Amino acid sequence: MEKVYNFLNHELGIRRHDSIIVAVSGGPDSMALLNLLVELNKETDIQIIAAHVDHNKRKGSSEDSKLIQKYCDNHGITFEYLKIDKYGDDNFHNEARTKRYEFLKNLALKYGARYVMTAHHGDDLIETILMRIGRGSTLKGYAGFSRLSKWQDMELVRPLTHVSKEEILDYCKKHKLEFITDPTNNKDIYTRNRYRKKILPFLKSENESIHLKYLKFSETLMAYDEYFNQELIKIKKDIYPQNVLNLERFKTLQRIVQIKFINNILEQLYPEDLVLITDTHTNIILDLAYSKKANSSVHLPNNIKAVKSYNNLMFMLEDQAIDDYEIELDEMINLPNGRNIIKVDEPYYKSNNLCYLSSKEVKQPLYVRNRKDGDKISIKGTLGSKKVKDIFIDEKIPINDRDSWPILLDADDNIVWVPGIKKSKFDKQKNEFYDIILKYD
């Protein structure tokens, strides 16, 4: 454990009076890490905040906090406690992890902490990598977890990644540290426990330092992943502008680059829940990208969906509803889609982004709203009208943009313009009278 202490004292960059949040379950791993920080405190004068979460899933779990509280009282450590009384219907482990990290984040903000530390160790890394290989993951996912990573505005640190469980237990014995043994760690109903009980003993019998080999494997994958990410930055603006995937350009990439591109997007969507993503999700998104259907979608974890609309593919929340809006036109309107409609005075030229109206024919005030079912527009040069919905289809407007697209109407509710797409019979030619010029900018 000396190398862990040296990392904390000399490599990490901890400064005098820094606040450090450390997640403490009461098990040997977290108690060993807590004790190492107490030793460090003798030299650096830091503030240690022990954060304990009672997940309330086994009998007697509420007693665990007493052991941690006692240790904290004896060593002048601030103790923070959270008991989870109720869970939703989602996956327990995912929900518990989310609540735990939310607790740590809030504490870091409360104490102005630069570091949040967890007691994940070398054996945990082996188990994580094997589980990811078994279920499929991204390149970053296959690497397991890193010793040091950015998290929110803080550093998430796992100082024990270079040591094995045996080394931790020896440290606890040497320093006579009390700890809690969770009986659920022996239950085969949990996947991680089966890897721990059946696979790790064999690997360690082949090489007692196998955790260092897996650590090297992890660091190698992380390095390749970082290099790949830097290369993707060079093409991202052309392939994924404004977080919309241009499928025509995307399909020109090599297959391995396509896979990494999708994985990179997923890693951004699930920064703290990458465990939810497997290569199955990558494959269904690739299938969606190559689907012959003009409009289609697939569902992803955490109520996210990937939506294909013609030549674009984007990701959004399942319940991401479009708010209805209605705005009266003055000199300028700032639209919900980030664009504007402006009254202008400029030379005449034809464009669907410009509309020329006569105040003698359109009743003012003019206003803008989003599309409604049944909207129709009387198109200039024709005798009839056409549904706005059909115009969107003809013009291949992305399906996710249609409900928020601005529609300009007069006070009699006549649709006079679908900005950027189609003009009505009210639009004027150069040789006709007009006194209102509007620009969609």
Residue 357 has pLDDT above 70, yes or no: yes
Question: Alpha-carbon distance 143 to 290, whole Å?
Answer: 29
Share above pLDDT 70 across residues of the chain, in percent, rounded to a whole number: 96
Model confidence at 86, in pLDDT bands (50, 70, 90)?
Answer: confident
Question: Alpha-carbon distance 317 to 299, whole Å?
Answer: 10
Share above pLDDT 90 across residues of the chain, in percent, rounded to a whole number: 58
Contact 410, 364 (CB under 8 A): yes
Same structural domain, 160 and 289? no
Residue 320 has pLDDT above 90, yes or no: no
Q: Which two tokens stand for residue 196?
A: 């721990």
Q: What is the pLDDT of residues 183-236, one digit of tens each?
A: 777 788 778 899 999 999 999 999 999 999 999 999 999 999 999 999 999 999
Among residues 289, 317, 345, the one where a domain terminates is 317
CATH number for the domain spanning 179: value is 3.40.50.620
Tell me the three state secondary structure of residue 214. helix
Same structural domain, 150 and 6? yes
Q: Is residue 229 part of a domain?
A: no
Q: Is residue 235 part of a domain?
A: no
Return the pLDDT at 189. Answer: 77
Q: Which two tokens stand for residue 187?
A: 């239950």
Residue 321 has pLDDT above 80, yes or no: no
Spell out the residues 6+ positions from residue 118 whose beta carbon is closer than 8 angstroms to its own.
22, 23, 30, 156, 157, 158
Same structural domain, 36 and 181? yes
Q: How many CB atoms lie within 10 A of CB 13?
A: 10
Q: Which amino acid would we find at residue 260? A: K
Contact 419, 427 (CB under 8 A): no
Question: Alpha-carbon distance 379 to 386, whole Å?
Answer: 7
Return the pLDDT at 322. Answer: 56
Mean pLDDT of 282-301: 90
Mean pLDDT of 307-335: 79
Same structural domain, 131 and 162? yes
Same structural domain, 384 and 295? no
CATH number for the domain spanning 422: value is 3.50.40.10
Q: Is residue 170 part of a domain?
A: yes
Q: Which two tokens stand for residue 58?
A: 């086994």
Q: What is the mean pLDDT of the chain?
A: 89
Contact 34, 71 (CB under 8 A): yes
Task: Let me know if 173 is exposed, middle or buried by CB neighbors in 10 A (0-12, 13-18, 19+).
Answer: exposed
The residue that leads in pLDDT, 351 or 313, is: 313
Q: Are strands 154-157 and 245-246 parallel, antiparallel or unpaired?
A: unpaired
Model confidence at 7, in pLDDT bands (50, 70, 90)?
Answer: very high
Same structural domain, 44 and 191? yes
Question: Alpha-carbon distance 187 to 419, whole Å?
Answer: 63
Can you name the residues that pair with 214 across neighbouring β-strands? none
Mean pLDDT of 372-394: 87
Mean pLDDT of 246-270: 94
> Residue 423 phi/psi, 5° resolution?
-105, 160
Same structural domain, 272 and 165? no
Tell me the three state secondary structure of residue 407. strand
Question: Alpha-carbon distance 427 to 434, whole Å?
Answer: 9
CA distances from 317 to 298, 337, 377, 397 (A): 12, 17, 31, 20
Cα angle for residues 316, 317, 323 (degrees, 5° grid): 95
Model confidence at 88, in pLDDT bands (50, 70, 90)?
Answer: low
Residue 241 has pLDDT above 70, yes or no: yes
Same structural domain, 298 and 382? no
The DSSP 8-state label assigned to residue 424 in this structure reads: B
Same structural domain, 253 and 193? no
Q: Is residue 25 part of a domain?
A: yes
Residue 362 has pLDDT above 60, yes or no: yes
Among residues 282, 317, 352, the one where a domain terminates is 317
Q: Which of 31-45, 142-156, 336-350, 381-395 has the highest mean predicted lDDT (pLDDT)?
A: 31-45
Domain extent, residue 429, equals 326-440
Contact 129, 135 (CB under 8 A): no
Same structural domain, 99 and 76? yes
Return the pLDDT at 288. Answer: 94
Question: Alpha-carbon distance 6 to 233, whole Å?
Answer: 35
Question: Alpha-carbon distance 230 to 336, whole Å?
Answer: 33
Question: Alpha-carbon distance 76 to 65, whole Å?
Answer: 16
Cα angle for residues 290, 296, 297 (degrees, 5° grid): 95
Among residues 256, 283, 317, the one where a domain terminates is 317
Q: Is residue 233 part of a domain?
A: no
Mean pLDDT of 364-379: 89
Same structural domain, 158 and 23? yes
Of 162, 69, 47, the residue nearest 115 (C-alpha):
47
Q: Is residue 222 part of a domain?
A: no
Same structural domain, 330 and 299? no
With left for phi above 0 and alpha for psi between -120 and 50, is residue 196 left, alpha or beta?
Answer: alpha
CATH number for the domain spanning 255: value is 3.30.465.60
Instruction: Record the pTM.
Output: 0.72
Distance of CA 359 to the CA centre of its chain: 49
For 56-115, what is the HEC assignment?
CCCCCHHHHHHHHHHHHHHHCCEEEEEECCCCCCCCHHHHHHHHHHHHHHHHHHHHCCCE
Q: Is residue 405 part of a domain?
A: yes
Q: Count structural domains, the chain.
A: 3
Distance of CA 259 to the CA centre of its chain: 18
Q: Is residue 37 part of a domain?
A: yes
